[in-house]
Structure 1
Amino acid sequence: MLVKWIRCGVVDRAGFERGQRKWAGLRGQPGFRGLGGGWSRAQPGVAHLFAFWDSRAAYDAFMAGGHDQLAGSQADSYENLGVLLFEHLLDVRVGFEARFADADLLRVAHSKVRPGRGEHFVEMQKKVWNPAMAGSPGLLRGTFAEGADSDFLVLSLWISANERGKYRPAAMARLAERTELEGDVSSVAGDVVDLVQAWTV
């Protein structure tokens, strides 16, 4: 499964919202699994979107075909568009499905892994981080995916901000020490996103 992460600095919120609804045209595209996203809690005016495809081939076919027509109506509503692609490696908690209706909150973490440390980082994700996250009652599901240049993505869907808040910094610090996270990664960036159900496809 291919995961596409789109980050937009929105300059015309109303226009962006109108344009986002037009992505319903993705329904029926061969290989398309789902789209969801919302507004950053930490960065006003920043929208995050996540699209899921069966394969890179299906995604490339869409980009060469219907993409520009759907994207055109939104073009003037944002700036500083960033796009990253990742290949799914592991599920978090249960088999991942690109569904958003049962979630209120999305957490994204983007790690840059040091040269030669990718295998250890993946192993620690599998043996330590995933089971720890799966033990959080508010976690619905998630995906761990690998991009180019030693980039990794952890995307998790939560019932609510209150439930996600129980996954506390103290516990995360202990896990980071146990997994030698500082030795694995050169940087970690993330965001918490309030999902907008009207954007779900």
Structure 2
Amino acid sequence: MLVKWMRCGVVDQAGFDRGQRRWAALREQPGFRGQGGGWSRAQPGVAHLFAFWDGRRSYDAFMAGAHDGMAAAQQGSYEMLSVSLFEHRLDVKVGFLPTFTDVDVLRIALCKVRPDRVEHFTSMQQRVWNPAMAGSPGMLRGVFGQGPGNDFLVLSLWNSATERGKYREGAVARLSERAELDADVLSVAGDVVDVVQAWTV
């Protein structure tokens, strides 16, 4: 599975929102599995979107075909767009499905991992982080993906911001130490996203 992460600096929120609703046509695209997103809590005017595809072949076919026509509806509503692609490596909780209808908030973590620590980092994700998140009330599901170089994405889907806050307060420092996170990573950047259900495809 291929995960596409889009970050948009939006200048016309109403126009962007209207355009985002038109991506419902993605349902007709071969290999498309789902899309959702919303507004950043930390950065006003920044939207995060996640799309899921069977693999690179179906995604490339979409980009070469129908994409530009769909994207035209949002022209002028944003001034910055960055796109990152990640290959699925692990589920966070068993049986990940790219659905957002029951999701209130998303938690994004982008980890730049030291080249000689990739194997250890991936092992700790499987043995330490995943079980801890999977056992947290309110954590619905998530995905762990690898991007270009040694960039890794951890995306977790939560049914409430309150439950995600409890996990963060109680577990992150302890788990980081146990997983030797500081030895594995060069940097960790993250965000919390309030899901807009009207953008769910």
Report TM bin, short chain. Answer: over 0.9
Counterpart position of 2:142: 142
Counterpart position of 1:86: 86
Counterpart position of 1:67: 67
Paired residue type of 1:41: R
TM-score norm. by structure 1 comes to 0.98
Paired residue type of 2:29: Q
Paired residue type of 1:155: L
- CA distance, structure 2, for counterparts of residue 162 and residue 169 of structure 1: 11
TM-score norm. by structure 2 comes to 0.98
SS at match of 1:30: coil
**How much does 1:170 deviate?**
4.7
Counterpart position of 1:112: 112
Counterpart position of 1:57: 57
Task: Summarize deviations over 1:35-61 as a string: whole Å, max 9, x none.
Answer: 000000111000000000000100000
SS at match of 1:168: helix
Gaps of 5+ in 1: none
Deviating beyond 3 angstroms after TM superposition, the runs of 4 or more aligned structure 1 residues are none
Paired residue type of 2:54: D
Q: Does 1:96 align with 2:96?
A: yes
**How much does 1:94 deviate?**
2.2
Gaps of 5+ in 2: none
How many pairs are equivalent? 201
Over the matched positions of the two proteins, sequence identity in percent amounts to 73
- CA distance, structure 2, for counterparts of residue 162 and residue 96 of structure 1: 22
- What pairs up with 1:120-139 in 2 under 5 angstroms? 120-139=120-139
Counterpart position of 1:199: 199
Task: Summarize deviations over 1:144-165 as a string: whole Å, max 9, x none.
Answer: 0100010000001101001111
Paired residue type of 2:158: W
